[in-house]
């Protein structure tokens, strides 16, 4: 085949599709490239939709134009990129023998047969539907296509709803929490699983985020399965019924996940994976070598487990579009995989993760070591400092970093990106503290929190410091074990926030050497402070004084995901 | 030697010294550890001093306390860490045979001989003195120790100076620019070399920063050598005389660099490097195996050249303290090297670099390819978006990333840290676009600017897109070559900012296919837009239409470091 004159049909015009087409045009001025898209606008910013609902993005056209202000429609693609777009057009059938795609125009009903040398499936995903009564009532929304955002914002502006219920505490649900609260709604999130952002965060980080959302007035209810939505006699949603009771609602958003769109591929006899994904090899080629697929309709290899994982993400789709175009031109580029990185801003909190959660790492059979580091994102003396809580997960045997999570008003995403880069390049926890990261007080502490957290992991693995996770301490206490919980903070800090437990004794760190006679030598000791550093110093002091079983509670009271008491109201 | 009972003397109590001592204490409860420090306070935040002068840090004690609010003095070190501190004490002599250090108390004059098993030199650096008349006049400051910051702020508050001259446009000079401007002073920066932040930035990035500083009212004069400072009859500095004229000054800051403090080491017969640094191996050991050195008194290996480089930085000193302690305990940990990463905030701009500059990469013999990418740091539709200009430097042969620089109000430091991590782990430019970085509109574009810049470099190296750097275009124009400079922006953008050149023709990208007959086929063409993307599209269109020599000006008008015209005043 003469690659210069190649005919390429791309099905899907949102992310992977147009990216494939644009890259291909650059590599090959003579290729005949056609995009088939059911909407009017291509390459729209799907990920920006929550910010249109919130009002942060003033006009919907801003989600559809280029940075230079031109709407990305079929005319733009033709004029600027020399790419034909069949808009408002549905692909109905692939004939792999004849190498054609049958398409139909959604408005005129006109049919066409498009011949191809190479076909690209960028058919995306669709929101998962809950099999519950009432899901099709009025004012029950999804958040997937531009029309969803337009109709939701219009509804809010016209009908002034007061109460919103979001079914699903995943990424979209959490982003929409802020969007709806900004529009003045009282927001409830109902999540079936025990934690919000399930599969993305472990207990400590999810608990921190839930606590914050409740502070912001969002009613977060986990472990709450919705059984139906009830409407009034106009067919408008009014109530969401769960296994644990009911809540009123003027509007409902169902955001319980996404599934790959693979009907077309399946009907064409292409291999389909276990979750309905179009199966591709590392060149993003289906089992038909002339058909590629990318974006939300495929699964990806997780770089740390080597196993397929479904993590639909606009960033991944764009990367894959470029790789597909390169491979159509014969460059043989691999798409090696992903880390399931995810970030979300909600009110003033930054939340995110990369790699495996602790739970996932255990399930994958790693010998897991974790640490929990609460810290200021920059030096404590610099006025714009903000707190964050970082969790790192590593493998004891290989010392490889396996995952990380962060939450807080502090700068979280830089640490995510640094550690995602490190994990992609196979870093061990010993590589991290040596990184020559940018240091100046407005940006970082002298030893960045990510490097510090890696050092804590090294101490644990090397047996230099004996640590307990908050969960381990909680379990010891719940089992009724006899130990001393030694809080080495100041009395003021203790009043403000403390673990209420009869085993607890307060001795501020600065007094510990003087008051060491008060510490019982016949008990196991767990030291505790705000963030872990002083508890570590206390452990060093006690170990130096001959105490035998002294362990540090990792992450301090800031990392403690369970109940605390306070003298403040 | 029995490591548990080891006697360790540490000379220097700012960064590497106390870090060594603290880590050692944790590894070894029984070690006898003594820090010798000439000041009263240890581990003070030297890097925070400009922010004390600016007023961002309200009280000087904030630079000297722990996050829990305790001043880090000798009592703190004894109580909390079990480390003896001889404060206000100078180390005078090392006797390597007897393994002792003679010290003298600066106030009482009392002398002592301290025996050691291992000695740690963390003697830091000192500001370089300019050999010019007037350098010792009143109101001529340095910015190195806490007293410098205290006396400068006190002087400003009491004497209300109006005009400040900063001699030296390096990191400290640039940080102090903002600090002094915030205190209401009119600030001039005089830099001897042709660019500010010399050795850290290349021409395009330094020009961008200089332009911004001038907009903020700072008079930046490069290529300006100071010959003397003149005072009035009270001995107060009043004028700074340069080879290009004189400027008035109510106060002067000399910040022309730092040199390692190595007198003690030299007198003890330890090996000294070419810039007066204490020579160490990768275990941070001097040529005497019982003496270690770290922090600003040593040079480091540059990870990309393998050659020693002097880059004093608090972050490096802290890392080295930990490594030294580990090695004293026999862990055999290497400090592999640095990337000369540097970041600085100045007004609302973030500026920084990691790795080699283009100039340094050429000098080191690499086959250099660069790109210049102006971009919004997050999607153009998101309200908090801000611009930044990124430069990447790579090696054509190995495809390794060699360096990067960034400047602008946009988020620069995350990109620095990601790319520093990538360089440390040996990444090629082909690894970067595949990174699974955190993507959500408040944080990043779907393809992050760092990944995009790497893709541009790949295109260049693979011959997919023919680019010219701004310098190459400027040189072609200056040589009087005949070519078409095709600006494909809108007329509005052209009016606002343009390169004034008779070779320039404006054809907005959306019109290019229609107006292609206007483009001469007998001339070489250089396409140009705001940031490079549309110029690249134009190049694709023209190449597709059979034009032979069409090249894209890298970085567009935003990356153009030379003169521009505007119809706006």
Q: Tell whether B509 lies on the interface with A, counting CB pairs under 8 A.
A: yes
Contacts of B60 (CB under 8 A, 6+ apart): B52, B146, B149, B150
Q: Tell whether A379 lies on the interface with B, counting CB pairs under 8 A.
A: yes
**In chain B, which residue's Cα lies nearest the Cα of A428?**
B425
Which pLDDT score, from 0 to 100, does residue A569 have? 59
Flag if A434 and B424 touch (Cβ within 8 Å).
Answer: yes
Class of domain B467-559: alpha beta
**Exposure of B56 in the CB half-sphere (CA atoms within 13 A):** 24
Higher pLDDT, A203 or A4: A203
- Is residue A47 annotated as part of the catalytic site, yes or no? yes
SS3 A128: coil
Q: Around Cβ B100, how many Cβ atoms within 10 Å?
A: 17
**In chain A, which residue's Cα lies nearest the Cα of B65?**
A381
Please choose, from the candidates A560, A513, A565, the residue with its C-alpha nearest in 3D space to the C-alpha of residue A538.
A513
Flag if B540 and A343 touch (Cβ within 8 Å).
Answer: no
Which residues 145-174 of B have a C-beta within 8 angstroms of A?
none
Q: In angstroms, rounded to a whole number, what is the distance separating the alpha carbons of residues A35 and A20?
A: 10
β B368-376/B349-355 pair status: unpaired
Q: In angstroms, rounded to a whole number, what is the distance separating the alpha carbons of residues B287 and B309?
A: 19
Which pLDDT score, from 0 to 100, does residue A66 have? 87
Q: What does the radius of gyration of chain B's CA atoms come to, in whole angstroms?
A: 27
The fold of the A3-125+259-328 domain, in CATH, is FAD/NAD(P)-binding domain (3.50.50)
Q: In angstroms, rounded to a whole number, what is the distance separating the alpha carbons of residues A354 and A303?
A: 11
**CATH for B3-126+259-328 (3.40.50.150, 3.50.50.60, 3.40.50.2300, 1.25.40.80):** 3.50.50.60
pLDDT tens digits, residue range A407-447?
999 999 999 999 999 999 999 999 999 999 999 999 999 99
Q: Tell whether B54 lies on the interface with A, counting CB pairs under 8 A.
A: no
Mean pLDDT of A189-218: 97
**Range(s) of chain A covered by CATH 3.40.250.10:** 467-559
Q: Tell whether B25 lies on the interface with A, counting CB pairs under 8 A.
A: yes
Burial classification of residue B173, based on how many CB atoms lie within 10 Å of its CB (0-12 exposed, 13-18 middle, 19 or more buried): buried
List the structure tokens of B180.
């002094």
**Range(s) of chain A covered by CATH 3.30.390.30:** 348-461
Please choose, from the candidates B437, B427, B434, B441, the residue with its C-alpha nearest in 3D space to the C-alpha of residue B392.
B427
Predicted-complex ipTM score: 0.96
Q: What percent of chain A has pLDDT over 70?
A: 99
Q: In angstroms, rounded to a whole number, what is the distance separating the alpha carbons of residues B230 and B249?
A: 9
Which residues 291-310 of B have a C-beta within 8 angstroms of A?
303
Element (H, E) at B159: helix B146-159
Minimal C-alpha gap between A439 and chain B (Å): 6
Asked whether residue A130 carries a pLDDT value surpassing 70, the answer given is: yes
Q: Tell whether B48 lies on the interface with A, counting CB pairs under 8 A.
A: yes
**What is the distance, to the nearest Å, from the Cα of residue B49 to the centroid of all Cα atoms in its chain?**
16
Asked whether residue A249 carries a pLDDT value surpassing 90, the answer given is: yes
The answer to whether residues A350 and A388 touch, using CB atoms and an 8 Å cutoff, is yes
Query: What string of DSSP letters covers B267-323?
Result: HTT--B-TTSPBP--TTSB-SSTTEEE-STTS-EEBTTT-SEE----HHHHHHHHHH
Q: Tell whether A348 lies on the interface with B, counting CB pairs under 8 A.
A: no
Which pLDDT score, from 0 to 100, does residue B2 have? 60
pLDDT tens digits, residue range A52-105?
999 999 999 999 988 888 899 999 999 889 999 999 999 999 999 999 999 999
Beta strands in A363-506 (DSSP E): 368-376, 387-395, 401-408, 467-468, 483-487, 504-506
Minimal C-alpha gap between B41 and chain A (Å): 16
Flag if B427 and A426 touch (Cβ within 8 Å).
Answer: no
Looking at the DSSP bridge assignments, the partners of residue A400 are A428
Nearest neighbour of A354 by CB, restricted to B57, B420, B436: B436
Nearest neighbour of A421 by CB, restricted to B48, B318, B418: B418
β B387-395/B401-408 pair status: antiparallel
Residues in chain A: 569
Task: Calculate ∠ Cα A494-A557-B16, nearest 5°.
Answer: 100
Q: Around Cβ B496, how many Cβ atoms within 10 Å?
A: 16
Which pLDDT score, from 0 to 100, does residue A69 have? 85
Q: In angstroms, rounded to a whole number, what is the distance separating the alpha carbons of residues A558 and A555?
A: 6
List the structure tokens of A497.
């926030």
Residues in chain B: 569
Which pLDDT score, from 0 to 100, does residue B1 have? 52
Q: In angstroms, rounded to a whole number, what is the distance separating the alpha carbons of residues B281 and B289?
A: 10
Which residues 399-418 of B have a C-beta within 8 angstroms of A?
413-414, 416-418
Asked whether residue A3 carries a pLDDT value surpassing 80, the answer given is: no
Class of domain A348-461: alpha beta
Residue A199 to residues A170, A452, B204: CA-CA distances in angstroms? 9, 26, 44
**Range(s) of chain B covered by CATH 3.50.50.60:** 3-126+259-328, 140-256, 348-460
Flag if B354 and A436 touch (Cβ within 8 Å).
Answer: yes
Please name the residue ranges forming H helices in A366-466: 413-424, 449-461
Give the CATH superfamily of A140-256: FAD/NAD(P)-binding domain (3.50.50.60)
pLDDT tens per residue across all 569 residues of chain B: 566 789 999 999 999 999 999 999 999 989 999 999 999 889 999 899 999 999 999 999 999 988 888 899 999 999 889 999 999 999 999 999 999 999 999 999 999 999 999 999 999 999 999 999 999 999 999 999 999 999 999 999 999 999 999 999 999 999 999 999 999 999 999 999 999 999 999 999 999 999 999 999 999 999 999 999 999 999 999 999 999 999 999 999 999 999 999 999 999 999 999 999 999 999 999 999 999 999 999 999 999 999 999 999 999 999 999 999 999 999 999 999 999 999 999 999 999 999 999 999 999 999 999 999 999 999 999 999 999 999 999 999 999 999 999 999 999 999 999 999 999 999 999 999 999 999 999 999 999 999 999 999 999 999 988 999 999 999 999 999 999 999 999 999 999 999 999 999 999 999 999 999 999 999 999 999 999 999 999 999 998 899 989 999 999 999 999 999 998 75
Burial classification of residue B71, based on how many CB atoms lie within 10 Å of its CB (0-12 exposed, 13-18 middle, 19 or more buried): middle
Q: Tell me the helices (H) and strands (E) count for chain B, helix number first.
A: 15, 30
**In chain B, which residue's Cα lies nearest the Cα of A443?**
B413
Determine phi and psi for A338, rounding to 5 degrees. Answer: -135, 170
Query: What string of DSSP letters covers B331-395?
Result: -------B---EEEEETTEEEEEEE--HHHHHHTT--EEEEEEEEESS-TTSTT--EEEEEEEEE
**Range(s) of chain A covered by CATH 3.50.50.60:** 3-125+259-328, 140-256
Sheet-wide strand order for B524-528: B467-468, B550-553, B524-528, B483-487, B504-506
Burial classification of residue A364, based on how many CB atoms lie within 10 Å of its CB (0-12 exposed, 13-18 middle, 19 or more buried): middle
Q: Tell whether B440 lies on the interface with A, counting CB pairs under 8 A.
A: yes
**In chain B, which residue's Cα lies nearest the Cα of A446?**
B315
Query: Is CATH 3.50.50.60 the right assignment for the domain spanning B348-460?
Result: yes
């Amino acid at each position: 085949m003469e690659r210069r004159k190649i005919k390429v049909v791309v099905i899907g015009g949102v992310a992977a599709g147009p990216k494939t087409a644009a890259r291909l045009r650059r590599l090959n001025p003579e290729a005949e490239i056609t995009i088939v898209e059911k909407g009017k606008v291509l390459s729209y910013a799907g990920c920006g939709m929550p910010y249109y609902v919130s009002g942060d993005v003033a006009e919907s056209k801003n989600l559809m134009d280029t940075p230079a202000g031109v709407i990305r429609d079929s005319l733009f693609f033709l004029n600027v990129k020399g790419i034909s777009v069949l808009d408002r057009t549905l692909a109905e059938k692939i004939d792999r023998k004849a190498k054609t795609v049958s398409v139909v125009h959604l408005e005129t009903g006109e049919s066409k047969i498009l011949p191809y040398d190479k076909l690209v499936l960028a058919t995306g995903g669709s929101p998962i539907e809950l099999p519950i009564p009432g899901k099709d009532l009025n004012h029950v929304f999804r958040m997937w296509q531009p029309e969803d955002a337009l109709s939701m914002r219009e509804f809010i502006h016209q009908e002034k709803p007061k109460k919103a219920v979001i079914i699903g505490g995943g990424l979209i649900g959490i982003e929409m929490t802020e969007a709806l609260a900004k529009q003045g709604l009282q927001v409830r999130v109902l999540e079936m699983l025990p934690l919000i952002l399930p599969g993305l965060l472990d207990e400590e980080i999810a608990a921190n985020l839930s606590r914050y959302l409740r502070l912001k007035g969002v009613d977060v209810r986990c472990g709450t399965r919705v059984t139906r939505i009830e409407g009034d006699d106009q067919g408008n949603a009014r109530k969401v019924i769960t296994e644990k009771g009911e809540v009123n609602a003027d509007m409902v958003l169902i955001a319980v996940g996404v599934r790959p769109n693979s009907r077309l591929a399946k009907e064409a006899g292409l291999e389909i994976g276990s979750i309905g994904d179009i199966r591709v090899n590392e060149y993003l080629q289906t089992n038909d070598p002339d058909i590629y697929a990318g974006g939300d309709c495929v699964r990806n290899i997780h770089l740390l487990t080597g196993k397929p994982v479904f993590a639909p993400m606009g960033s991944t789709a764009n990367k894959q579009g470029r790789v597909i175009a390169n491979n159509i031109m014969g460059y043989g580029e691999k798409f090696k995989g992903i880390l399931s990185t995810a970030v979300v801003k909600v009110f003033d909190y930054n939340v995110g993760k990369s790699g495996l959660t602790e739970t996932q790492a255990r399930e994958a059979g790693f010998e897991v070591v974790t640490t929990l580091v609460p810290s200021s994102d920059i030096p404590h003396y610099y006025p714009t400092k903000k707190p964050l809580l970082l969790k790192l997960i590593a493998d004891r045997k290989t010392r490889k970093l396996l995952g990380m999570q962060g939450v807080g008003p502090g700068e979280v995403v830089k640490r995510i990106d640094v550690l995602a880069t490190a994990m992609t390049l196979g870093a061990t926890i010993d590589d991290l503290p040596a990184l020559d990261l940018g240091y100046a007080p407005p940006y970082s502490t002298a030893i960045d929190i990510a490097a510090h957290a890696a050092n804590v992991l090294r101490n644990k693995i090397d047996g230099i410091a004996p640590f307990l996770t908050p969960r381990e301490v909680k379990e010891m206490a719940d089992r009724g074990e006899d130990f001393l919980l030694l809080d080495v903070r100041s009395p003021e800090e203790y009043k403000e926030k403390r673990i209420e437990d009869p085993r607890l004794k307060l001795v501020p760190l600065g007094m510990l050497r003087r008051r060491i006679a008060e510490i019982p030598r016949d008990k196991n000791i767990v030291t505790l402070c705000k963030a872990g550093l002083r508890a570590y110093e206390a452990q060093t002091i006690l170990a130096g004084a001959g105490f035998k079983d002294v362990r540090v509670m990792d992450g301090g009271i800031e990392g403690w995901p369970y109940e605390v008491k306070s003298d403040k109201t």
